Amino acid sequence: MLWLVFLGSPSMVDASLSVLTDTLGLDPDEFRAAWGVLTGEQRDSLLWRVKWLKTRHVHQVDPGGDWHVWMMLAGRGSGKSRAGAEWLGWESWCDPGSRSLVAAPTSGDLRDVCFEGESGLMAVIPPALVKSYSRSLHELILVNGSLIKGIPATEPERFRGPQWHRGWCDELAAWNHGGGEDEEAWDQIAFSMRLGENPQIFISTTPKPNRLVRSLLKRKDVRVTTASTYANLEHLAPTFREQILQYEGTKIGRQEIHAEVLDPEEDGVVRRSQLRRWPADKPLPQLEVVIMSLDTAFSEQHKDERGRTDPSACSVWGGFRVKGKPGIMLLDCWEDKLGYPDLVDRVKRESKARYGGDEDRPVIVPMFGPRRLEHTGKGIDFLVIEDKGSGISLRQSLARDGIVTYPYNPGKADKLTRLHIVSPLFAQGYVWVVESDRRPGEFKSWAEPLITQLCSYTGKDSIPNDDLMDTATQALRVLSDKWLRVPAEAPLTKAPVAVGVEGPTRTDNPYAA
């Protein structure tokens, strides 16, 4: 009989027999006769499964086929976490002795949403089918021997080693805490899906246009389901409905209600699409000028009203000309929370770096990549430091070691104004970033934090951190004034940074007005 196919899947114990017969279209007498020979576990699983099949929404239906990744992009309250718990619980019950992974942004999210939430695993799987549950270890073991294990995305290294038949990744778009944890965690999860004939991953998330979500949307092997908050509105609390629907018609409403994948990096002063990709396998052009730009903060001294410290940030840019047409290349960038002595030491070390090379091969890796070749390539021509309290102290320390720096003072120009001033360089296609050799069509991973800041900034407090953006705007302003406007055949006047090198310096500052 058709209904026997559901004997291995979980269900709510309090569902009625009439629901089963109505849903499956069975003869009540025939069903009652068969019901009497079922075990308690079979009855519980059948009841639970049929109730879910009767109440689920269209967007919560398994896409079917031999899919590998199913990504549900859905608005707040649309039932995406419920779909994840139902899918993972059912698959675990149908596959005795299997191993399933649950991943969420934090340990608290694992416990409070995925395992113990109103729509979590413990709420949907009948208690009779659960052998044990450890909330501290995030481990649920079913009576059929299947293991469901939770690991937070904040600890991506823990995804190494274990292997799984399937996985549920909840709120994937919220995994990134500023250091690329989301991509690292996702890669490790993908590597660990190696049990069974067809390991599968279900993603439930409110969409955010980060790099990981955008890359998954481009993949042909990813099945995408979308839904808005309205799809599940009748099951949401009245107060929540009133609150969330206030954002209808707004930009955040398009994302949080209608699950649109908005791209803030295409709405700002500078757009990601304006950046030009330099092919990863193509040697760098001959650099005419290299500028290192610093925005400094000493972590012991500089804290905001919440007690948080700002990082010091650095970016390196090179100017070149190909067939007379100028271009500006991002060569390196980094940010770090450093005390004053460590900051001085690092700047001294970084100021000796060279970019490009005698072998015509790019040497443009960040601080944490392969070691730069110090005997080839072009050195720093300008070391630009913002002319403020911490920057002044740093310039004085470097001067004692014979390292001449160039002060930058934006005067009354705020951050947004400074970005507007250099925005024509992006619009006119002057700015280049090297393509990733691991992800063709994308930029080098170390450049992403700077690009994100540049393209997402729309004004004060629009992004959590803007220090790299500051280094970029001041470097591009100086490059524009001191190199871009200089004819190719004219000599370049620079402030040298090498110890013991004589060269002209200026006491006036064109950016102080």
Tell me the average pLDDT across 256-268: 65
Name the token pair of 388.
Answer: 């403020």
Residue with more model confidence, 366 or 245: 245
3-state secondary structure of 384: strand
Rounded Cα distance, 338 and 346, in Å: 9
For all residues of the chain together, what is the average pLDDT? 79
Residue with more model confidence, 309 or 151: 151
- Secondary structure letter of residue 493 according to DSSP: P
Which of 116-125, 251-260, 344-353 holds the top average pLDDT? Answer: 116-125
Q: How is 451-473 classified by DSSP, letter by letter?
A: HHHHHH--STTSSS--HHHHHHH
What pTM, to 2 d.p., does this model score? 0.52
Which pLDDT value is given to residue 386?
83
Tell me the average pLDDT across 39-57: 84
Residues in contact with 159: Cβ distance below 8 Å, sequence separation at least 6, in sequence order: 103, 151, 185, 188, 189, 191, 192
Rg (alpha carbons) of the chain, rounded to whole number: 29
Given a cut of 50, is residue 506 above it in pLDDT?
A: no
Which of 61-70, 227-236, 418-427, 490-499 holds the top average pLDDT? Answer: 418-427
The region, left, alpha or beta by phi > 0 then psi within -120 to 50, assigned to residue 236 is beta
Which pLDDT value is given to residue 370?
40
Which CATH number fits the domain 59-256, given the four candidates 3.40.50.300, 3.90.180.10, 1.10.240.10, 1.10.10.10?
3.40.50.300
Residue 331 binned pLDDT confidence (cut-offs 50, 70, 90): very high
Given a cut of 50, is residue 308 above it in pLDDT?
A: no
Given a cut of 70, is residue 502 above it in pLDDT?
A: no
Rounded Cα distance, 93 and 276, in Å: 50
Task: Render pLDDT for 425-455 as a digit per residue (tens, 0 to 9).
Answer: 998 899 999 999 888 889 999 999 999 999 8
Give whole-number Cα distances, 261 to 75, 139, 213, in Å: 11, 33, 9
Residue 7 binned pLDDT confidence (cut-offs 50, 70, 90): very low
Residues in contact with 400: Cβ distance below 8 Å, sequence separation at least 6, in sequence order: none
Tell me the average pLDDT across 32-55: 80
Name the token pair of 503.
Answer: 């060269």
The third-level CATH classification (topology) of the domain covering 272-484 is Nucleotidyltransferase; domain 5 (3.30.420)
Which pLDDT value is given to residue 405?
86
Residue with more model confidence, 329 or 228: 329
Given a cut of 60, is residue 327 above it in pLDDT?
A: yes
By the 10 Å C-beta count (0-12 exposed, 13-18 middle, 19+ buried), 172 is classed as: buried
Rounded Cα distance, 98 and 431, in Å: 51
Tell me the average pLDDT across 474-496: 68
Q: Which of 501, 495, 490, 499 is nearest to 292 (CA)?
A: 495
Q: Where are the beta strands (DSSP E) in 337-443?
A: 382-386, 406-408, 431-434
Domains of the chain, by residue range, sit at 2-55, 59-256, 272-484
By the 10 Å C-beta count (0-12 exposed, 13-18 middle, 19+ buried), 53 is classed as: middle
Residue 310 binned pLDDT confidence (cut-offs 50, 70, 90): confident
Residue 500 binned pLDDT confidence (cut-offs 50, 70, 90): very low
Which pLDDT value is given to residue 45?
87
Give percent of the chain above pLDDT 70. Answer: 73
Which pLDDT value is given to residue 206?
82
Give whole-number Cα distances, 131 to 101, 122, 147, 149, 286, in Å: 17, 12, 10, 14, 67
Rounded Cα distance, 83 and 71, in Å: 11
Q: How is 413-450 classified by DSSP, letter by letter?
A: --HHHHHHHHHHHHHTT-EEEEBPSSSTTSB-GGGHHH
Task: Render pLDDT for 81-114 as a digit per residue (tens, 0 to 9).
Answer: 999 999 999 999 999 999 999 999 999 999 999 9
Task: Render pLDDT for 355-406 as a digit per residue (tens, 0 to 9).
Answer: 875 443 434 444 444 444 444 678 898 899 987 777 888 888 888 888 888 8
- Chain centroid to CA 413: how far? 31
Of 143-157, 158-172, 201-215, 301-315, give the lowest mean pLDDT range: 301-315
Given a cut of 90, is residue 80 above it in pLDDT?
A: no
